[in-house]
Amino acid sequence: MKRLFSGLVLLVFIALGGVGFAAPAVAAYLCPACYGFSRVAPHVYVQKGHDASATLVAIETAKARVSEALGWGDETPTFLICATQSCADRLGPGPRAMAYGSVFLYLNPQGANAETLAHELVHIRVSGLVGAKALFQGRVPAWWNEGLATLIEGVPPRREGFADVDLPADAKLWRSQAARDHAVMYPAAAAKVADWLDRNAGFAGAVTVLQSLRRGGELPG
């Protein structure tokens, strides 16, 4: 029942956010076996018939990386991981990985690595810290959320050449622009967030700010 309620809430949330490719992934979350996934560990589902040992190591590596930067709360996301392109095609077009609130994350074959997992787990942790309501209200700017995730996944901030890049705060607009200019948007966001962290007590300051946003605060400059 909890899984069904979470899935229905996610569908409404996603529909309002204009993420048209999300419904199959939510359906797979509700019934992993129906979409060819098998449970290999608590909350971890991998395409049936595929060795999950490397994936499980990557998940633990990614969790450790995120926990070192932002800590870890009671988030227990479900992982849905495709091992082949045919599995990914069944879930429809979309990015190589995507977090759905703090509930679950999906990865296609190109996304099942520690770096991409860390990126998506940052989104899971941000959602857990700030809460669904504040996230839905757009209190966490998209550029900040994506820049933070990009830094923690291990991409070094390259400040040169990114000062004038337009970085939207709106998540829907971010997805639209990033789909066209991925190679610029993410490093530009990482550079901007690196500067923000320098001014705001680093990752510890990021956690404090997210908790403040949950209570109605504002993101400091």
pLDDT over 50 at 210, yes or no: yes
Give per-residue pLDDT as tens, 62-81.
999 999 999 999 999 999 99
For 124, phi then psi, to 5°, come to: -60, -45
Contact (Cβ atoms closer than 8 angstroms) between residue 142 and residue 192: no
pLDDT score of 27 more than 70: yes
Q: Which domains does the chain have, with CATH numbers?
A: 1-129 (3.40.30), 131-221 (no CATH)
The dihedral region occupied by 218, where left means phi > 0, alpha psi between -120 and 50, and beta the remainder, is: beta
In this structure, what are the phi and psi dihedrals at residue 34, rounded to the nearest 5 degrees?
-65, -25
| Residue 161 half-sphere exposure toward CB, CA atoms < 13 A | 7
- What is the structure's pLDDT at 116? 95
Positive or negative, the CA dihedral 161, 164, 170, 176 is negative
pLDDT digits (tens, 9 = 90+) for 93-137: 677 888 888 889 999 998 889 999 999 999 999 999 999 888 888
Answer whether residue 13 shows pLDDT above 80: no
**The tokens of 36 are what?**
């060819």
> Binning pLDDT at 50, 70 and 90, where does residue 36 land?
very high
177-200 pLDDT per residue, tens: 988 888 889 999 999 999 999 999
pLDDT digits 0-9 by tens, 39-67: 999 999 999 999 999 999 999 999 999 99
